[in-house]
Amino acid sequence: MDKHNNKKWIIIYGSVAVTLIAIYYLVNLPLFSSWGHYIPFVRKLSLSLFLIAIIYLISKLVEKLIYSQNHLEGDRYNLLRIVRFLALVFSLIVAASFLFQNLYAAAVSFGLISLVLGFALQAPISSFIAWIYLILRRSYLVGDRIQIKNFRGDVVEINYLDTSILECSGDYLGNDRRSGRIVRFPNSLILREEIINYSGPLVPFIWNETAIQIAFSSDLQFVEDCLLNAAKKDFEEKYPTLHHLKSRKWEPTVYFRNNVYAWMEAVISYPVEPHDTTDRRNRILKFALPKLNEAVDRVKFPEGMSR
């Protein structure tokens, strides 16, 4: 939406700037001599508004440049936020210079106001400082799946004071799908809590595992081969370009452990994208379980009174 509106706003700010600078010079004409002592005020006001229009015109041109570059979605989002914030700051400086006689008086006034507001607005100020920390440290970006305190979900918006995520799991789900609820928390939370980012910068995967219960008398090598083949087959179909790289760091593995109910567990550990954990587990099981169930003489599952 913003990308398509950029051209429109560039035209609007450009037209406003031309109009205001024209007013700045036109009021000096003899035609407006009857305005008398209002002329200096009109000139100063038109010049201030002209500068503000130019600031926002430049910000829109910079935004257009950012959209034209091949940035990651999260980086683009942060750059746009910075540009808009700087445009607001410079506009406030211009407005202050209009209201006060000079920048020194404006700076002193801002200092006194900041001192008073600093005590009254400690929480929002700490959240704003945390936003600056997020921009510099890149703890998470828009599109990342994160967990902080008891909140887990996909980042959809990083504002100056808070962050919005689409919740995963939550109170009503037992899997990693989005619950449909939006969670907003203040940015200041990242300064006192650990942040878990599932979208690591090095590889597109995290590691997950799925366990099935089998008897001690099962053919463990056969079970291991079935689970590995299922994981490899799904990886090849889901990520055909990555499959051809033959990277050992993405190879699934199987290990066995004792279950508390006297059965054995065969556990398949495999790489998965953070948003695909539930579906990938389902695909692996749908491929592996029919193969295991067919080999009734080699694999025993808990059933009947043997559960």
pLDDT of the chain, 307 residues: tens digit per residue: 455 677 788 888 888 888 888 887 887 777 777 666 777 788 888 888 888 888 888 888 888 887 777 666 666 777 787 888 888 888 887 887 776 655 555 555 566 566 555 555 667 778 888 888 888 888 888 888 899 888 889 999 898 888 999 998 877 777 778 888 999 999 989 888 888 888 765 567 889 999 999 888 889 999 999 999 999 999 988 888 776 666 677 889 999 998 777 788 999 999 988 888 889 999 999 999 999 998 888 998 876 544 4
188, 46, 181, 70: which is closest to 130 by C-alpha? 188
Helix (H) or strand (E) holding 257, with range, is strand 253-258
Enter the pTM of the model.
0.64
Strand, coil or helix: what is 18?
A: helix
Burial degree of 306 (CB within 10 A; 0-12, 13-18, 19+):
exposed
Contact 265, 216 (CB under 8 A): no
Q: Give per-residue pLDDT as tens, 62-103.
A: 888 877 776 666 667 777 878 888 888 888 878 877 766 555
Contact 271, 207 (CB under 8 A): yes
* Residue for token pair 């209009």: 98
- Greatest alpha-carbon pair distance for the chain in Å reads 107
Terminal alpha carbon distance of the chain: 57
